[in-house]
Amino acid sequence: MPYQKFRPAKQWGRANTRYFKSVYANKLKERMPVFRVPDVLQKIGAVIYDPNDVDFPKPRQKFDTVLDHPAFRTPSVEESSFFKTIKCNMFNGTIPFTDGIDQACALSKAVKRTHFLPVVLQNAMKIVKTNDIKEKLSELIMRGERYDPTLEKLPRRFDPILFWAVYPRKHGTPAIKKGNIILENLYRHIVSLASQADQLSELRHDLDGTLNCELIVGCEKNPFVLRTKPHIVVQSPSLINPWANPEAIEETRKEDVPDVNPIDPKIDLVPEHVYSGITELPRISFPLHLDTIMWTREQDQKYPWTREQNAANAIMYCFGAAVAEAKRMGNVKAGVLEKPVVTRAVQLVKGMMDFVVFQLNTLDLSNKKDDIKNIVWVEHAQRLYKPGFYYENYEAVVDLNVETFHKMLGLMVTR
């Protein structure tokens, strides 16, 4: 709930701004009289400096107040014990993909499917039997949109029409925290519903866990590093059953990975040095398997990402989770995996959800014909509800779509 902490200081009105600009521009055009040294100062012999001089004011010797001691010196990145000279192409979810979903598929060597299996909604309908699901979902959403008491400084409002207007800063709950609260409540509600049918009782989840993995085959010059930090990392003692059977996996040899030429698929990756070559994920030493990851993305006011770019970001997150799980299982060598790895991803962006299921069949990213490829199922931009402006109070949930929640529920219980 946004709150104005201080009274805004009014400078100009939002109307007739061009009038003030023209007055100021005309004032700058006025010619100032030439400065002449008064005779009184010349008789005194006062030292007069020319402001048009290059060295005005005269340079003075500055003393260095920082002591030449390691304790008072900021160490460089190269001095860190974790620094490695090997350069890599890193994905961290900060740069949008130029060509959207096709570029993400080209990077992950995956063929795309635009619809989930019919069994997903069928499994959801077996669990949801109550009629008050809309009221319950509205309550869960309002916990993040309205009831959270956080008061943090929010970004300044930007108006694309009145772009010169300066709006007062508001304090409230940031967009990412709102979305994370909603995702946590939805996840708990799904587990609660599934527990009534004796399902999902074995799940374990961690908050804000780091996922880090590295791929070398297919990118020998610069390793491909996937480093993400989803808000919720769900793990299970058992692996998810593959969505594609061995016959469907063999059929991928006849399919082509989306071609994004003349764009290089790696154009939007961040050039960075390898920080850690080991695989990182929560509870890596526990007998668990990566199941589902969930997180929230905040849209930039001036440069918002498109729906395709949001979906591409979700695909790469899910691909990184699948690679991390394959590395944890000991699949270090490149090539076709004996047992495919399946992971799911849920991304919330401004009231819309992106659902991704990634089946990792191979770790070899070299683009060769007649190779087995990975498979990705994606349903993006699924409207859950219509959020309000972050600088206004959200009174009630608008345009709630229960079908989107059913997809999320079916995705979790389909194993």
> Over the stretch 110-119, which tens digit does the pLDDT of each residue have?
999 999 999 9
CA-closest candidate to residue 376, choices 116, 119, 112: 112
What is the predicted pLDDT for the residue at 76?
82
Which of 369, 322, 320 lies closest to 343, judged by CA?
322
Closest CA to 238 of 336, 329, 355, 126: 329
Residue 152 lies in a domain: yes
Q: How far is CA 3 from CA 179, 301, 392, in A?
A: 19, 19, 9
**Residue 8: is its pLDDT beyond 70?**
no
Whether 101 maps to a domain, the answer reads: yes
The residue behind tokens 């989770």 is 321
CA dist., res. 343 & res. 289, Å (int)? 9
Please report, rounded to a whole number, the percentage of residues in the chain having pLDDT higher than 90: 61
How many separate domains does the chain show? Answer: 1
pLDDT band at 14 (very low <50, low <70, confident <90, very high): low
pLDDT, averaged across the chain: 88
The predicted-structure confidence for 44-71, as pLDDT tens digits, reads as follows 888 777 777 777 776 666 666 666 777 7
* Confidence at residue 257, expressed as pLDDT on a 0 to 100 scale: 93
- Per-residue pLDDT at 190: 95
- Cα 146 to Cα 2: distance, rounded to the nearest angstrom: 9
Lowest-confidence pick of 11-25, 121-135, 183-197, 373-387: 11-25
pLDDT of residue 253: 92
Segment (H or E) for 302: none
In the predicted model, what is the mean pLDDT of residues 344-369? 93
> Residue 222 pLDDT > 90, yes or no?
no
Measure the CA–CA gap between 343 and 290, rounded to whole angstroms.
Answer: 7
Average pLDDT of span 188-215: 92
16 part of a folded domain: no
Mean pLDDT of all residues in 241-259: 93
Q: Would you state the pLDDT for residue 60?
A: 60
Q: What is the pLDDT of residue 59?
A: 62
Answer yes or no: is 108 within a domain: yes
Q: Which residues contact 410 (CB under 8 A, 6 or more apart)?
A: 116, 119, 120, 121, 122, 123, 124
pLDDT of 218 over the 80 cut: no
- Spatial distance between the Cα atoms of 104 and 368, rounded to a whole number of angstroms: 17
Q: Residue 193: pLDDT above 80?
A: yes
More confident residue, 294 or 87: 294
Residue 97 has pLDDT above 60, yes or no: yes
Q: How far apart are the first and last CA of the chain?
A: 38
Task: Report the predicted TM-score, pTM, of the whole model to 2 decimal places.
Answer: 0.83
Residue 272 pairs with which residues in a beta bridge? 88
In a domain, 340, yes or no: yes
The proportion of the chain whose per-residue pLDDT surpasses 70, expressed as a percent, equals: 93
Range of the domain at 321: 79-413
CA 157 – CA 172 distance, rounded (Å) = 13
Q: Which residues neighbour 369 within 8 Å (Cβ) at sequence distance 6 or greater?
A: none
The answer to whether the beta carbons of residues 346 and 408 sit under 8 Å apart is yes
| The predicted structure's pLDDT at residue 323 | 95
State how far Cα 390 lies from the chain centre: 18
Query: 């949109």: which residue's tokens?
Result: 145
Per-residue pLDDT band at 321 (split at 50, 70, 90): very high
The pLDDT of residue 165 is 84
**Per-residue pLDDT for 15 more than 60?**
no
Instruction: Decide: residue 223, CB within 10 A, 0-12 exposed, 13-18 middle, 19+ buried.
Output: middle
Q: Does 68 fall in a domain?
A: no
DSSP states of 194-260: HHTTT-STT-EEEES--EEEEE-TT--SS-EEEEE--SEEEEESSPPPPSS-HHHHHHGGGS-PPP-
pLDDT value at 385 more than 80: yes
Segment 347-371 mean pLDDT = 92
